[in-house]
Chains A and B, each alone.
Chain A
Amino acid sequence: MYDAVLACCRWLENTPWGVTVRDSSWMYPVVLWVHFVGLSMWLGTSLAVDLRLMGIGARRQTAVELSDGLFSWKWIGFGVSFVGGFLLLSAEATTYVTNTSIRLKLALLTPLALTWHLVVQKNTRAWTQNEHTSAIGKWAGLIEFLFWISVVTASVGFLLTNAVVLRRT
């Protein structure tokens, strides 16, 4: 199993885009920026809906109104951050894969958080009744919020223990 993952990482590193980002003196931080811009949209929208489900910062809009209104920008943000993250991984895949935090982030936490996000997205309408969120909706929002914070935590853990040092230009 691990051999297959490692083979994938080697392939990623040798793709034209992997080579380009790795060999460039300026692209890595710019791609990191793209990843962060996408994340701002993704987390700005997703966490807003989670907080609204929990009833934190409730105003005139219900959770489902917010969720519907933010839908397209949320997924645009996800697409942008995914492309950025994929390029970052491609540049240094074989080094990244040795890091426990990034393994945790990519193999466990992100898939779980994303799956849970889809559950929340699908059920937000059902959980909003008469402008109030049901108890299960509140818990679901809290759980999603914590999932994404755990993804950020794993990412910070990775940044602090990463074997790849950003090249100085």
Chain B
Amino acid sequence: MWEALQHTGWVTTLATSRWLYGLVSVVHYSAVFFCVGTIVLMDLRILGVAYRNQALSVLAEQLRPWTWIGFGAVAVSGFLLFAVEAGDFAAVTPFRLKMLVIVLAVVSALAIEWSLPKWDRAPVVPVTARVVALISILLWLGAILVSVEIPALTGLG
């Protein structure tokens, strides 16, 4: 299935055009930094180390659209870059691990979104919230770590 994707017309166009591939990479890198940056900021706020003078919900309201638009751009551009070497990526453990870590990271982000109104109403940010925020930071930074290890370990990318 992934091998077939790799050999479809538009994917070979992307793979053989240095400019197109470069452009998609620029979108992917910029959006990753923006998406992870805004998520980690929110997590740091929950942990009580950043932006303490603002209510959780006010900062969340500000960052949320940017985070998810960024994530959408990451996912689309990431899929395009994956497609170029789809068969190879799908076969190696580091790439599968990366996908797993990202799924877990998204789950943690959704869990935070879900619970935020409740945490915001509490007089002090609950311990559970801090633990989830810390896990979220570790998962998102872990996703970047796995990503840089893929070329180092497999030569792909």
Which chain A positions have C-beta within 8 A of B66? 48, 51, 57
What is the minimal beta-carbon distance from A32 to any residue of chain B, in angstroms?
5
Q: Chain A contact residues (Cβ within 8 angstroms of B): what range?
A: 35 or more
User: How near does chain A come to B108, taking the closest CB pair, in angstroms?
Assistant: 16
Rounded to whole angstroms, the CA-CA distance of A61 and B62 in the bound complex is 7
Q: How far is the CA of A70 from the CA of B44 in the complex (A)?
A: 11
Are A156 and B26 in contact, with the CB atoms below 8 A? yes
CB-defined contacts of B21 to chain A, threshold 8 Å = 160
A146 to chain B, nearest CB (A): 11
**A69 contacts the other chain (Cβ, under 8 Å)?**
yes
Please tell me if A77 contacts chain B, counting CB pairs below 8 Å.
yes
Q: How distant is the Cα of A68 from the Cα of B132 in the complex, in angstroms?
A: 26
* Beta-carbon contact of B18 and A36 below 8 Å: no
Min CB distance B152 to A, Å, is 4
B8 within 8 A of A: no
Partner of B26, one of A43, A61, A153: A153
Quick one: given A57-B66, A69-B51, are A155 and B29 in contact (CB under 8 Å)?
yes
Number of residues on chain B facing chain A (CB within 8 A): 38
Tell me whether chain B's interface is mostly helix, strand or loop, or mixed: helix
Interface residue? B144 (CB, 8 A): yes
- Are A60 and B62 in contact (CB-based, < 8 A)? yes
Q: A28-B152, A60-B62, A69-B51 are in contact. Are A43 and B34 (CB under 8 A)?
A: yes
Contact among B34, B63, B148, B153 for A36, CB-based, below 8 A: B148
Query: Is there contact, CB below 8 Å, between B61 and A60?
Result: yes
Closest to B154 in A: A168
Q: Which B36-85 residues sit within 8 Å CB-CB of chain A?
A: 36-38, 40-41, 44, 50-51, 53-54, 58-59, 61-63, 65-66
- Are A48's CB and B63's CB within 8 A? yes
A101 to B33, CA, bound (A): 20
Min Cβ gap B138→A in Å is 12
A-B contact count (CB 8 A): 114
Chain B residues within an 8 Å CB radius of A70: 41, 50-51
Chain B, Cβ-Cβ closest to A47: B34
Q: Which of A44, A149, A156 contacts B36 (CB 8 A)?
A: A44
When chains A and B are docked, how far (Å) is the Cα of A36 from the Cα of B142? 11
Q: From residue A21, how far is it (CB to closest CB) to chain B in Å?
A: 13
Question: 1/0 per residue A11-26: CB within 8 Å of B?
Answer: 0000000000000001
Q: Is the CB of A159 within 8 A of B40?
A: no
Taking beta carbons and an 8 Å cutoff, which residues of B are in contact with A?
18, 21-22, 25-26, 29-30, 32-38, 40-41, 44, 50-51, 53-54, 58-59, 61-63, 65-66, 141, 144-145, 148-149, 151-155
Contacts from A to B (Cβ < 8 Å): 26, 28-30, 32-33, 36-37, 39-45, 47-48, 51-52, 57, 59-61, 65-66, 69-70, 72-73, 77, 148-149, 152-153, 155-157, 159-160, 166-169
Give me the 8 closest cross-chain CB pairs, A-B, nearest first.
A44-B37, A43-B33, A29-B152, A40-B37, A40-B36, A59-B62, A69-B51, A29-B148
